[in-house]
Amino acid sequence: MKTVDIVERIEGEAKLVCQWNKEKISDVKIQFLNFRGFEFILKDKPALDALVYTPRICGICGQAHLKATVEALENIYKNHNEELILTKKAKLLREIGLNIEIIDSHIKWFYMFIMPDIVKFSQNNLAEYTPLKGKKWLEASMIASETIKSLALIGGQWPHTSYMIPGGVMSDPTLLDLISMQNYMDQAIIFFENSLVGIKLDNYLDFKKSEDLYKVKGDLKDFITISFENEFEKIGKSYNRHLVLGDSLSFEKGKINRKLTKNISYENIEELTLNSFDIDKSKISKEAYTWSKTALYSNNFYETGPLSRAIVQNRDFVNDIHRKYKDSMFTRILARMDELGFLLFKTKELIKQIDINEDSFIKPKVSLSDFKYGFGQSAVEACRGSLYHDIEIENGIISKYDVITPTVWNLGPGIEDKLSTSQKAIIGTDSLAKAKLILRSFDVCSVCTTH
Amino acid sequence: MKNNERNKPKIVWLQAITCNGNTHSFLSANVNRLKLFLNSFDLIYHPSLTTDILLDDLLKKDEEIDFLLVEGAISSNKEFFQLSNQTTNEILKKLVLKSKYLIAVGSCASYGGVHKKFEQNNNILGLQEALFEHDTSTLKHPIVNLTGCPVHPEWIFQTLFSLKEYKQIALDEKGRPKEIYSYLAHHGCTRNEYFEWKVEANSFGLKEGCLFYEQGCRGPMTHSNCNKILWNDVNSKTRAGMPCIGCTEFDFPRNNMLETKKNIGIPDEVPLGVSKRAYLSIAGVAKTFKIDRLNEKIIK
């Protein structure tokens, strides 16, 4: 039996094509059938214009793309041994901007993309989660729009600002701006405490053991209860291999393939197209079924995202839950909401570290167009996981731009005899509804996947 | 309650070739405005949100749509882009026939925007370009272009509430509501005094100085009210220190958006409606006034 199901509400559209055997999914293909060609669009454009283009790869994680672009461009300077000074203030303002975007995305994801499906598995009537009407949906959209104001204060607006530029950032916030940013973070913390977990953030962050799950109240408790009632801690397991490419004040890079290694080299990243469409039709294999490419690290599939970040970073609570329930759908969703609490605390700390007397921007001594040829790479942690940019320029004009998004790591097609991370997570599931939830647990973004 | 539901105008939000930026701009709207909107209209379909019907159901139903909002560019190339096994062009045409008003949400839906730069797909169009006269014969109003990358949520609210109340809205020659797009991004910019006295921002990352002379700011020639109706209620790009990149205009995105193209040290393009000669004269005079206040830090 074969099932084709179109999945909406994943930031775009995907198709799940399932093969069934004895009422379980025995094989699955995740098809992304849309392609917007950003890597082709970027070719032949002036290098700095990439700062305007790449945030538009995705309306949700535009700041991640912006930060990846600016750091890839700065890497070109580094590869020329050309000194480029970046103040701590500029570094902080970039990272704070990205963190706020992740916070905003996590809130929206839980209430708009996950809970409406999760509550369908409950025996109780949880109409408060009803999209566009329910009290909790409205409250979440309110707090998301309040939270993002703190990014607009330094970026001018959200989405789609390009306030980061090689040498720093374009804005110069006042002390009052910083206080306002703290205030918006505090509002989000109050929401986290009163609505999501029902306890103080400090107490939540003290959680160390999986048993602490029973101390959680609030909306996350609804998720935990429904999950255990439906054994969501037993489904959605994949390779349990984890990758974090981005290194920052908030996250640590590293990978876990049985044991944890902090040594990451971009040279081990490989992008393959064996099962992917190509705009050059002569290159398309018969097996091609999606526009997404396949991303591998050291020839292996890895998961990327909040769960991977928490365990690479050894954050106790998620670590212990992960030890018990492995990389299940339950662990994956819980880790994302745990990261919300972690980032609210962390981002407030980072805002406090800003010294407004430092420069926001120090103009590079040479322009990118002064380099006859240049190349640079960067990786940042976006809301959905590791985002990698790779750029080449000639006389200041982009000659090659390659982007590997987190969703390509998680949702790209398997190759040859190897299943991809999400394929492996879905196979063995006994219902299409659960398969769709597992797919969503990776925080699917079709627009990112098929940039 | 049910009666009330029936009286609410029905809205369908279609996503074509897009980054979903307009959706996320919309979801970041002022919460009271969003609540009022949700109470006043019936958003029956949005692909990113859990609505009761799916796109397939919508296409089969005979139900009339009051406002069809389209986010993203349109293409009839199925190899590159399809939704529910159809091209965005096919879906658009079917939905327009059921609709009273058609609104392009964002620059991609209006003119193709960023996505039109993907030249390998030579069939990426804005709504007006994608539709023939007979496709829009049932519409009660010309297509409304709400340009912007992304569009400001308040522009969507104001347009919808206006059309609900007055049935029509005055459009400029590019199909944009005059009351939003007659303003320039420049109007209300907190750097205006620097512009008047021709004081340049010496670099990025400053509160002081105008971004028009060096950093490529298009505020004086871009139709939008970004500095009148602030973004996320709190700010604008130019107030923060980022030059306006002209994202509400037909020609967005242009090349070299973060620098000012010049000829013999003079900006190649001058503010809208001003002759180059007049601009040069006035700039010369303004520069002779050396106003210390404008050459110092705002906060010392």
Q: pLDDT digit string (tens) for B125-158?
A: 999 999 999 999 999 999 999 999 999 999 999 9
% of chain B with per-residue pLDDT over 70? 98
Residues B28-86: pLDDT tens digits?
A: 999 999 999 999 999 999 998 877 888 988 999 888 999 999 999 999 999 999 998 99
**B50 located within any domain:** yes
Split at pLDDT 50, 70, 90, the class of A1 is low
Q: Which of B58-72, B178-192, B235-249 has the lowest mean pLDDT?
A: B58-72
User: What average pLDDT does chain A have?
Assistant: 96
Whether residue B233 is found in the same domain as residue B191: yes
Report the alpha-carbon distance of residue A165 to residue A170 in Å, rounded: 7
Q: Measured between beta carbons, which residues in chain B are less than 8 angstroms from residue A359?
A: 205
pLDDT of residue B6: 62
Total tally of structural domains belonging to chain B: 2
Type of residue numbered B113: G
* pLDDT value at residue A446: 85
List helix spans (H) across A353-420: 406-411
| pLDDT of amino acid B53 | 87
* Contact with chain A for residue B255, Cβ under 8 A: yes
Tell me the CATH number at B59: 3.40.50.700
* pLDDT for residue B87: 96
Q: Is the pLDDT of residue A179 over 60?
A: yes
Partner-chain residue, chosen from B80, B203, B299, that has the shortest CB–CB distance to A174: B299
Scanning A134-153 for CB atoms below 8 A from B yields: 138, 141-142, 144-146, 148-149, 151-153
Residue B48, C-beta contacts closer than 8 angstroms, at least 6 positions apart:
A8, A9, A11, A112, B15, B20, B23
**Domain presence at residue B206:** yes
User: Are B262 and B190 found together in one domain?
Assistant: yes
Cβ of residue A34 closer than 8 Å to a chain B Cβ: yes
Split at pLDDT 50, 70, 90, the class of B1 is very low
- pLDDT score at B48: 87
Residue A274 pLDDT: 92
Is residue B68 domain-shared with residue B119, that is, in the same domain? yes
Give the span between the Cα atoms of A395 and B189, in whole angstroms: 35
Residue contact A156–B240, C-beta within 8 A: yes
Find the residue in A nearest to B238 (Cα): A156
- Residue corresponding to tokens 């007659």: B182
| Residue A24 CB partners (closer than 8 Å, separation 6+) | A428, A429, A430
Lowest mean pLDDT among A342-346, B245-249, B281-285: B281-285
Last residue in a domain, options B179, B208, B242? B179
Q: Are B21 and B170 contained in the same domain?
A: yes
Shared domain check, B160 and B59: yes
d(CA B75, CA B87): 7
Sheet holding A254-257, edge to edge: A242-244, A254-257, A259-261
Which residue of chain B comes nearest to A147, CA vs CA? B28
Q: Which amino acid is at A143?
A: I
Look up tokens 């509501």; give the residue: B177
Overall average pLDDT of the A382-392 stretch? 98
Residues B122 and B234 reside in one and the same domain: no
Instruction: State phi, psi for A171 to the nearest 5 degrees.
Output: -100, 165
Structure confidence by residue, pLDDT tens digits, A46-65: 999 999 999 999 999 999 99
**What's the rounded mean pLDDT across residues A309-337?**
98
Structural domain ending residue among the three candidates B137, B156, B179: B179
Fold classified for A2-446: Cytochrome-c3 Hydrogenase; chain B (1.10.645)
Residue B35 lies in a domain: yes
The answer to whether position B203 is within a domain reads: yes
- Best B43, B50, B57, B121 member to test A by mutation, with max A CBs in 10 Å, is B50
Calculate the alpha carbon distances from A33 to A14, A276, A401 in Å: 7, 10, 22
- Claim to verify: residue B198 and residue B257 sit in the same structural domain: yes
Task: Judge whether B264 lies within some domain.
Answer: yes
Q: Are residues B71 and B36 in the same domain?
A: yes
Q: Are residues B24 and B135 in the same domain?
A: yes
Q: How far is CA A67 from the centre of its chain?
A: 13
3-state secondary structure (DSSP) of residue B100: strand
Q: Report yes or no on B1 lying in a domain.
A: no
Q: Give which of B19, B85, B251, B256 to mutate to test A binding, by max A Cβ within 10 Å.
A: B19
- Which residue, chain included where needed, has tokens 């007049």? B278
Position A9 pLDDT exceeds 80: no
Q: What is the pLDDT of residues A237-287, one digit of tens each?
A: 999 999 999 999 999 999 999 999 999 999 999 999 999 999 998 888 888
- Backbone φ and ψ of B28, nearest 5°: -95, 15
**Known binding-site positions of B for [3Fe-4S] cluster:** 226, 244, 247
So what's the pLDDT on residue A10?
A: 73
Co-location of B198 and B163 in the same domain: no
Domain ranges of chain A: 2-446
Given a cut of 60, whether residue B2 has pLDDT beyond it is no
Structure ipTM:
0.97
Chain A residue with minimal CA distance to B74? A36
- The answer to whether residues B33 and B153 touch, using CB atoms and an 8 Å cutoff, is yes
Structural tokens at position B247 = 């994202």
* Strand-pair category, B144-146 with B99-105: parallel
- Do B174 and B232 reside in the same domain of the chain? no
From CA A402, how far away is CA B179, in angstroms rounded? 41
Within-domain flag for B299: no
The answer to whether residue B204 is domain-embedded is: yes
| Closest of A168, A55, A160 to residue A403, by C-alpha | A55
Query: What's the domain range around B56?
Result: 10-179
Dihedral over Cα of A42, A254, A410, A437: its sign = negative
pLDDT tens per residue across span A367-381: 999 999 999 999 999
Count Cβ atoms within 10 A of the Cβ of residue A438 and give its class: 0-12 exposed, 13-18 middle, 19 or more buried: buried
Q: Of B179, B204, B228, which marks where a domain is finished?
A: B179
Q: Tell me what the mean pLDDT of segment A8-12 comes to.
A: 74
Domain co-membership, B166 together with B187: no
Eight-class DSSP state of B56? H
With CA atoms as reference, the chain A residue closest to B53 would be: A8
Q: Residue A39 carries which side chain, given as an amino acid letter?
A: E
